Chain A
Amino acid sequence: MAKAAESSGDPGTTSPRPLMRDLKAVGKKFMHVLYPRKSNTLLRDWDLWGPLILCVTLALMLQRSSIDSEKDGGPQFAEVFVIVWFGAVTITLNSKLLGGNISFFQSLCVLGYCILPLTVAMLVCRLVLLAEPGPINFMVRLFVVVVMFAWSIVASTAFLADSQPPNRKALAIYPVFLFYFVISWMILTFTPQ
């Protein structure tokens, strides 16, 4: 985002380069989440575009047709949005209050990007749900969601764990676990009409 800021200082340019640069940065971060190593890229050049894209995608897919969404009892678009962002903000505040030395937006960035595996799980689940319902259908979905949940936890822990003092690591990681667990539950219990 820093790069976009400096190139957008010139209002006359309508070149697509800043957009491509941003997209490339987002894509690079997606790769870092999918293959988590101990690298600083996510932390150093944080941006919130990736988390926004992922959150909107997830919320759109979790949404139902509006006809009987009242009775259905599933989360609405706004509810998913609020849970993701409010949850991420709460975890970040918790981490900072415990004495972690990570900045507010860096932490939001990491938490948002690590929703990527769960978004992939949502896509897979929607595809699997096109087949006939039954216990096998459910088992496949359960397996996919559990694997992606573990992936999200591993990815976010790889980035966040170092910022906490060692005697409080577990205290900072547990809310992340709860956060992704709730999102996984929303994905697993998604039933189409």
Chain B
Amino acid sequence: MAAVDDLQFEEFGDAATSAANPGTTTIHIEGPSESPTHQPGLPRGSGGEEDDELLGNDDSDKTELLAGQKKSSPFWTFEYYQTFFDVDTYQVFDRIKGSLLPIPGKNFVRLYIRSNPDLYGPFWICATLVFAIAISGNLSNFLIHLGEKTYHYVPEFRKVSIAATIIYAYAWLVPLALWGFLMWRNSKVMNIVSYSFLEIVCVYGYSLFIYIPTAVLWIIPQKAVRWILVMIALGISGSVLAMTFWPAVREDNRRIALATIGTIVLLHTLLSVGCLAYFFDAPEMDHLPTATVAPNQTVATAK
């Protein structure tokens, strides 16, 4: 057992310390599409089954091995949390690209996350989104009300905290509720595909990325443009979410499956429309967006 453990540990030890040693590269051995019964969220103890698989040369089992070993540190150590940041730059970019280009039939979790969910993406995408919405909203209001006599520019700093609360609550509580719901359905109906909590958080986090350029483009003070942007963003991120979660509920009762997907898309819609309504003032139809407005005009602000 000791010799086999040394072999095991040495291989994984390289992967763990390579992050601390610059210059070494971490080689992730990704197998072909994993078997659907694999549940990546469960931590594995060092069981005898892993010894058997070690002697074999099965790549996908090695991935399972590493995935199981990764989460074995106790949760009060720093190393435990480091496992959620075990991503390289190109991986983060790939995941962002995957969230922007939903391919029908390809599952975001299977294709990109592959049992290596990270918290870097969701956290920093949400942070960027918070500031993007707050700053763009502020800029947009400034540009809309530019010529008005009664308008005094305020930075509206309070809105940052409100945006932060909304975005982070959405990015954590909705996945929590969804995970709880899927676990409950799993106990009743045997689903082939199930996701761990972190994978759901990861999907939601990356699916919010499309809203960052959308928020910046919302500065344009045209109602039609804004609503078209809402549609596009909702279409892309909604389809990423729908295609990810459809396999998880497909085995279930038809109506429950459709209701689940419908609720996911509905909540996503509420988030984007709510942010647009709250942070961005309505543009006036007859308001000229130039600084040289005739001073005789009194424009009624639709507040």
Q: Which residues of A contact B (CB under 8 A)?
A: 71-75, 79, 94, 96-99, 101, 164-171, 174-175, 178, 181-182, 185-186, 189-191
Interface string of B219-250 (1 = CB under 8 A from A): 00000000000000000000000000000000
Whether A191 pairs with B153 at a CB distance below 8 angstroms is yes
Tell me if B127 and A75 are in contact (CB < 8 A).
no
Q: Would you call B82 and A75 a contact (CB within 8 A)?
A: no
Of B18-26, B109-117, B181-189, B257-265, the segment with at least 4 beta carbons within 8 Å of chain A is B18-26
Q: Give every chain A residue within 8 A of B157 (Cβ-Cβ).
A: 73-75, 79, 186
In angstroms, Cα B18 to Cα A166, docked, is: 11
B-chain residues with CB within 8 Å of residue A73 when the two chains form the complex: 154-158
- A170–B89 contact, CB under 8 A? yes
CB distance from A69 to the nearest CB of B (A): 11
Q: Whole-angstrom distance from the CB of B59 to the nearest CB of chain A?
A: 22
Q: Are B21 and A165 in contact (CB under 8 A)?
A: yes
> What are 11 sample pairs from A and B whose C-beta atoms fall under 8 A apart?
A73-B157, A94-B85, A97-B81, A97-B120, A99-B85, A165-B21, A167-B26, A169-B89, A171-B120, A178-B128, A182-B131
Residues of A within 8 A of B127 (CB): 175, 178
Assuming A98-B120, A168-B19, what are 13 further A-B pairs, CB within 8 angstroms?
A71-B154, A72-B154, A79-B157, A94-B124, A99-B82, A165-B22, A165-B24, A167-B25, A178-B127, A182-B131, A186-B155, A189-B155, A191-B153
Q: How many A-B residue pairs lie within 8 Å, measured between CB atoms?
A: 80
Contact assessment for B89 and A168 in the assembled complex, using a CB-CB cutoff below 8 Å? yes
* Interchain CB contact under 8 A, B89 and A167: yes
What 1/0 flags go to B85-106 for Cβ under 8 Å of A? 1111110100000000000000
CB-defined contacts of B18 to chain A, threshold 8 Å: 165
